[in-house]
Amino acid sequence: MTDRQTPGQHARSPFNAIRAIDYTVIFVRDMAAMRRFYEDVLAFPLSRELSPNWIEYGIGSNTLALARPSRTSGDAPTPAGSASLQLAFKVSAAEVDACADELVRQGVALVSPPTDQSFGHRTLFFRDPDGNLLEVYGEI
């Protein structure tokens, strides 16, 4: 670190070239249940299925992939009852309530119903079949 750098800065790091997260992978325990949830409940568009162990959905300019852990690593699946991640999906504030209504219609339990937060978001929280925490939010 040079004298002009603050902690956490890395001058001329090749990682400074990163401009976006291109895709996110959820390592799944139950591929069939997760696929039904993301395709049928959330209605995410399937972009491609590389194998029964790797499925991709197009969400805006990003890709969300469902994968069995052995596809890319030898990691054991996340233990039952443990969320391995939280994903936040951005919509308009008015659409948060419509999403909540659709989840309830589909039989999905809400962790937290649509709520206006002091930091300027209207939020909704629920879980996917593997227990991962999902959020739908809109700026208010």
- pLDDT per position in the chain (140 positions), as tens? 455 555 666 678 888 888 888 899 998 889 999 999 999 999 999 999 999 999 999 999 999 999 987 755 666 666 776 767 899 999 999 999 999 999 999 999 999 999 999 999 999 999 999 889 999 999 99
pLDDT at 105: 95
Task: Give the span between the Cα atoms of 126 and 109, in whole angstroms.
Answer: 7
Terminal CA-CA length for the chain? 41
pLDDT at 70: 72
67, 56 in Cβ contact below 8 A? no
Q: Which residues of 9-19 are buried (b: 16+ CB within 10 A; e: fewer)?
A: eeeeeeeeeee
pLDDT at 1: 47
pLDDT at 14: 80
pTM of the model: 0.80
The pairing of beta strand 133-139 with beta strand 86-90:
parallel
Task: Give the span between the Cα atoms of 84 and 128, in whole angstroms.
Answer: 11
User: Residue 93 belongs to what H/E stretch?
Assistant: helix 93-105
Closest of 68, 65, 26 to residue 46, by C-alpha: 65
Read off the DSSP letter of residue 2: -
pLDDT at 114: 97
